[in-house]
Amino acid sequence: MQTNQTRLAQRIAMAQGTRRADTVVVNARVCNVFSGRIMDTVDVLMGDGLFLAFAPAGTGQARQVVDAKGAYMLPGLIDAHVHIESSLLCPEQFAALVLPHGTTTIVADPHEIANVLGLEGVRFMLENAARMPLDVRLMLPSCVPATPLEHAGAVLEAADLAQLMADPRILGLGEMMNFPGVVQGDPAVLDKLALAAAAGKVIDGHAPGLTGRQLDAYCAAGMRTDHECATVEEMQARLERGMYVLLREGSAAKNLAGLLGGLSPENGHRCCFCTDDASPDDIAEQGHMERHLRMAVAAGIAPVQAVRMASLNTAQCYGLHGKGAIAPAYVADFALVQDLKDFAVLATCCQGTMVAERAMLTVPPRAAAAPAPKATMHLAPLSLSNFALPVPSGKARVIVVQPRSLLTSMQVRDVVLTEGMVQAQQNAGLVKIAVIERHKALPCCGVGLLQGYTKEGQPMRGAIATTIAHDSHNIVVAGDNDADMLCAVQALQALGGGICLVRDGKVLEELALPLAGLMSFDTAAAVAQAKQALHRRAVQEFAIAEGIEPVMTLSFLSLVVIPAARMTDQGLFDAAAGTFVSVDAEE
């Protein structure tokens, strides 16, 4: 067994050329994120999983030769903040999807699975991720449950998080969404912040719209990053306070284009790229981090600066020592791309081993499969009566969804009643929405009305249901008749979680997500195909309104921190007033 001293001696010998290196990359245009130069007259030597030397072109000696054929050699790309669960893929399959796109490291927040399974879910993510060469680092979820206004599957206090904080794969504390708890000094919140600070680890921020002295207080509590900037002004305020700004371009939230105008040579070193959420079909069609590079360069950002934001800046932000650059003693992660405009990825290398070429993974899983977590569909007995909605006054508070937005409003409108009950089919433009607790078989079911989800004057004729319901991930179902809504919930229970479309008591389309009701063990291609088929049928046959994403809209309607009207398993919530209200407007 080699000692550390022996390995160091061998590295030094390979770097000097007195010992053959493991691998040499020739004919590459090397993107140097330290000097800002493109180096095109060197051979890049690698050994022991590290970059070791820049030899003059044609002089590098190694056991294996990789001919880049004039391609640009970039440091392995790093996603600074992502929820793997949003891809609907388990970590292993997510890795298989993004590695061919040049991504070699991600900083993931398992907030979603933790709200269902607690630490068991976090441990599963670590174990399953270890099957692939993608370097997956986690931030421990800071807000489980995300809110006391609905029932989640787990509770994680500081003492729970302490069990994993010392793990080197844990980089710190995940996005602290409870910024009121921070600035008001909530003891439970401060315990978590103190835990991360004592371990010398990063704390991610999440503070949309926070300004002035409250932003100062939030930063004073130790927040290192924020990925919620929507304007250049918000971005500048955070940069001035020493935060890293994570410029987000995902499948749901798209802020990159609007923030690129705030970038400059002076502040670019404090900016990183992230996806936050990444749909498998979006990645397959548009790319992963190379999409950010393409957008940045198209907006006039210098290519090397853009690459730096997708690599070195993130490594420095999160203390990923030896990551994010092509230089001696740095981890030999790199991507070969065709040019510095479109950034089409030709090959990916992790720790000196080629893992993907020509958009195809070239390595098999490297460890035994982690056992799947326990089942998570635990429902109290349900019947049609659970979906009954009495509105004696005939005037109902209605959640109004907006096209291409997660925001909602609340309106009062007259409704037609049958024996004092609202039947959606008798009220043009309305569908019912229900959120049903599914973690501990609690008899909790909130029922309300939704407007703007379907086209005016056209009946939905069925129901759509999913177990993806941020952030507690209960069941959310929308439909124009109670029988199909009940059938859809029962179908999800049989699937073990997922998404389904139901009409006349029959399941028309379904996507099984048996891993916590959030993820599939299937391949990205299979999940993307099922998701696209489900989406296409929902839009074409269920009268979904223009600009409404049929599943994602439902998934966010239980997220009470977004204005103005939400539905949880405890009822209709007025986010502006901060309180639950009756659907009957005169109660």
- 3-state SS, 360-411, equals EECCCCCCCCCCCCCCCCCCCCCCHHHHCCECCCCEEEEEEECCCCCCEEEE
By the 10 Å C-beta count (0-12 exposed, 13-18 middle, 19+ buried), 49 is classed as: middle
In the numeric block, the tokens 């539905």 are attached to 567
Between strands 42-47 and 50-56, the pairing is antiparallel
Residue pLDDT, tens place only, 353-367: 999 999 999 998 887
- Supply the pLDDT for residue 440: 97
CB distance 156 to 115 below 8 Å = no
Q: Which pLDDT does position 3 carry in this prediction? A: 83
| E strands present in 420-544 | 421-422, 430-436, 445-451, 463-466, 475-479, 498-503, 506-512
Sheet holding 202-205, edge to edge: 77-82, 103-108, 135-140, 170-176, 202-205, 225-226, 244-248, 271-274
3-state class (DSSP) for residue 73: strand
Which of 7, 50, 22 shows the shortest CA–CA distance to 325?
A: 50
Amino acid at 585: A
Tell me what the mean pLDDT of segment 339-346 comes to.
Answer: 98
Residue 160, Cβ neighbours under 10 Å: how many? 17
Tokens of 583: 């659907």
Q: What pLDDT shows up at residue 1?
A: 58
Who's near 587: CB < 8 A, 6+ residues apart?
393
Distance CA 563, CA 111 (A): 21
Give the residues across from 450 on adjacent strands. Answer: 399, 431
Place of tokens 């068991």: 120
pLDDT bin (cut points 50, 70, 90) of residue 147 is confident
- The pLDDT of residue 55 is 96
The pLDDT tens digits of the residues spanning 50-102 come to 999 999 999 999 999 999 999 999 999 999 999 999 999 999 999 999 999 99
CA-wise closest residue to 560 among 551, 545, 570, 550: 570
Give the pairing type, strands 395-401 and 360-361: unpaired
Q: What is the pLDDT of residues 15-45, one digit of tens each?
A: 999 999 999 999 999 999 999 999 999 999 9
Compute the distance between CA of residue 239 and CA of residue 502 in angstroms, rounded to an integer. Answer: 48
Q: What is the pLDDT of residues 395-448, one digit of tens each?
A: 999 999 999 888 899 999 999 999 999 999 999 999 999 999 999 999 999 999
Nearest partner of 44 among 20, 17, 63, 23, judged by Cα: 23
Strands 29-31 and 72-75: parallel
* Cα–Cα dist 527/275, whole Å: 19
Instruction: Tell me the C-alpha distance between 568 and 437, whole Å.
Output: 9
Per-residue pLDDT tens over the stretch 215-246: 999 999 999 999 999 999 999 999 999 999 99
Q: Is 368's pLDDT higher than 80?
A: no
pLDDT digits (tens, 9 = 90+) for 269-296: 999 999 999 899 999 999 999 999 999 9
Q: Which residue has the tokens 């439970």?
A: 188
Quick check: 62 and 20 in contact, CB under 8 A? yes
3-state secondary structure of 253: coil
Q: What is the mean pLDDT of residues 335-344?
A: 98
pLDDT of residue 374 exceeding 90, the answer is no
C-alpha to C-alpha distance for 370 and 126, rounded to whole angstroms: 9
Residue 576, pLDDT > 80, answer yes
What does R_g of the chain's alpha carbons equal in angstroms?
Answer: 25
Mean pLDDT of 323-334: 98
* Tokens read off for 270: 């404090």
- pLDDT of 48 above 80: yes
* Other C-beta atoms lying within 10 Å of the C-beta of residue 440: 12
pLDDT tens-place string over residues 300-319: 999 999 999 999 999 999 99
Give dist(CA 283, CA 278) in Å, integer.
7
8-state DSSP, 85: G
Domains annotated for the chain, with CATH where assigned, are 4-70 (2.30.40.10), 76-323 (3.20.20.140), 384-581 (no CATH)
Q: pLDDT digits over 548-567, tens only?
A: 999 999 999 999 888 899 99
Q: How far apart are CA 315 and CA 303, in angstroms?
A: 18
What percentage of residues in the chain have a pLDDT greater than 90?
92
The residues pairing with 288 across neighbouring beta strands, listed in sequence order, are none
Dist. CA 143–CA 158, nearest whole Å: 10
Size of the chain in residues: 587
pLDDT in tens, 250-275: 988 889 999 999 999 999 999 999 99
| Per-position b or e across 525-534, b if 16+ CB within 10 A of its CB | eebbebbeeb
- Asked if residue 468 has pLDDT above 80, the reply is yes
